[in-house]
Amino acid sequence: MAKAINKKVAQKTRKKQERSEMIARSVAFGLFAFFMLAFAYWQLHGWLINPATLPVKVVRIDGELKYLQKAELENAVAGVVSGGFFNIDLKSVMNKAHELPWVEEVSVKRIWPDTVVMEIREREAIARWGDKHLVTGSGEIFLPNELLPEGLPVLIGMDDRSVEVVELFKREKPRFARLGLKIATLHVNKRGAWSIAFDNGLHIAIGRMDIKNRLRRLADNFVAISQRGNPEYIDLRYRYGIAVSWKKSKGAV
């Protein structure tokens, strides 16, 4: 009986040793496989990020461009697209393109095997801002590198009021266009007083208060004013009336 017990103990011990050896072999194989895969990944990664591997040969620019030149964009990003297809920093390409004043939005993507595509949306200037700058429909002021576009109205004011000035311009432009008037200059001075000059030479003094209602009152009465003569200057800074200076004679309504 003692021999039988010793035999069972020996069998259990042998099985435990076999399991331990199998586990050890499995762990060793797993570690070996892990290190081999890591080495292969490191080798592949090094090959892929090498600029000589699949170098970028083409920079394609998509989008409707009116003021931007493709050569200008290509030169702007030349320093950051000189790497390989896999290691090119797309964010750096976007940032370089954004440095150009006419660029509103840009997206960048790779196209296999050697092309980078930039999708460009140009800023749309609705007016000049002062003497040298332009302003967009959202009130963003920017300074173009080249000459200003011709034929744009001029908006004048403090830079921190650009959104307010643009909103008033966009609201009043169609109202006066229906009366045959085109805004040439819209100005708000440091004291907050507003004025408008139209392309026919007519000047409007609006004042600092109740701007919207004063301009509505002018629009409602402009046909009647025009029927009496050719107005040169209209002063809206009255509570109940409008003062008009005529090109040939003067009067008030």
Is the sign of the CA dihedral 96, 98, 101, 103 positive or negative? Answer: positive
What's the CATH fold of domain 58-122?
A: Ubiquitin-like (UB roll) (3.10.20)
**Distance separating alpha carbons of residues 204 and 243, to the nearest angstrom:** 10
Question: Which residue is associated with the tokens 């085109």?
Answer: 182
How far apart are the C-alpha atoms of 158 and 139, rounded to whole Å? 12
Burial, 56: exposed, middle or buried (Cβ in 10 Å; 0-12, 13-18, 19+)? buried
CB 242 within 8 A of CB 236: yes
Q: What is the pLDDT of residue 1?
A: 57
Strands annotated E in the chain: 58-62, 103-111, 115-122, 125-129, 133-136, 141-142, 154-156, 183-188, 194-198, 203-207, 231-235, 243-246, 250-252
- Mean pLDDT along residues 194-217: 97
**pTM recorded for the entire structure:** 0.76
pLDDT above 70 covers a percentage of the chain that reads 80
The label of the residue with tokens 């509103």 reads: 104
Tell me, what amino acid is at 250?
A: K
Per residue in 173-205, pLDDT tens?
999 999 999 999 999 999 999 999 999 999 999
Q: Is the pLDDT of residue 250 over 50?
A: no
Interval 51-76 mean pLDDT: 88
Can you tell me the mean pLDDT for 45-63?
Answer: 73
pLDDT tens readout for residues 88-138: 899 999 999 999 999 999 999 999 989 999 999 999 999 999 999 999 999
Using DSSP bridges, classify how beta strands 243-246 and 231-235 pair: parallel, antiparallel or unpaired: antiparallel
- pLDDT for 43 equals 47
Backbone phi and psi for residue 156, each to the nearest 5 degrees, phi listed first: -130, 130
- Quote the pLDDT of residue 119: 97
151 within 8 A of 107, measured Cβ to Cβ: no
Domain coordinates in residue numbering, the chain? 1-48, 58-122, 125-252
Query: Is residue 224 within a helix (H) or strand (E), and if so which, with residue range?
Result: helix 211-228
> What confidence score (pLDDT) does residue 12 get?
64
CATH topology for 125-252? Rossmann fold (3.40.50)
